[in-house]
Chains A and B, each alone.
Chain A
C-alpha cells in the first residue's frame, strides 16, 4: 500500500484568503485524486490529477476555485482559493495502486471563519 502524507493537517483561515494543501506519496503513481468531505458527509471527488497534463475536474468544481498542480509522480498540491465558510471541510489526497486499491492521506481539516 502507498504511504501518503498531507500538509497542513489542519488550518483555520479567514474568508477571502487561499490555502495550498500539499500531498506527498512514497512511491511514483500515475493518478492522484483530490476529495472533499464536508462536515458529517461522505466524500466527493474534486478532480483527478495526472502528471504532465491538466487536472480533470468533476461537475461543480472549477479550476479557478481549486487549482491543482502535479509537478511529478510523487507530489501534488490543491489550492482552495477565495475561501468562504462553505469551504470548511476535510480535503483528502488519494492514489490508486496497480491492483486498483485506492489509498487516502490523513486529510487536511480546513475551517474558514
Chain B
C-alpha cells in the first residue's frame, strides 16, 4: 500500500544552518504530498503541499519539490531559526482519498 518514509531524527542544528529533511514515498500514481509541523504541545498544522509531480510547495522559508523520478519530497530551508524547533511530518493523500498517511516524524532542534 501507499507509504511514506522519513529520515530518522532527532536532527540538531545551529541557528542559520541549512536544513534538509528527507522524505520518500511509495504510491500508486502521483498523490498530493504534504509537510506538516507539530510544535510542542500542539496539534499538527499544514506547512506546505504539492498537488502534482514537479510542483514546488513553499511557506515560511521552507520548500519541497515533488520529484517523481526519485519518489521524493525533501524539505529544505536555507537558514533555520530557533523557532523552527518542532517535529516535521511528511504525508501523502491516500489513493482512495479517504485519509492522509503520515511518516514517522523528524524532531528538529535548533540551538542558538
A and B together in one complex: no
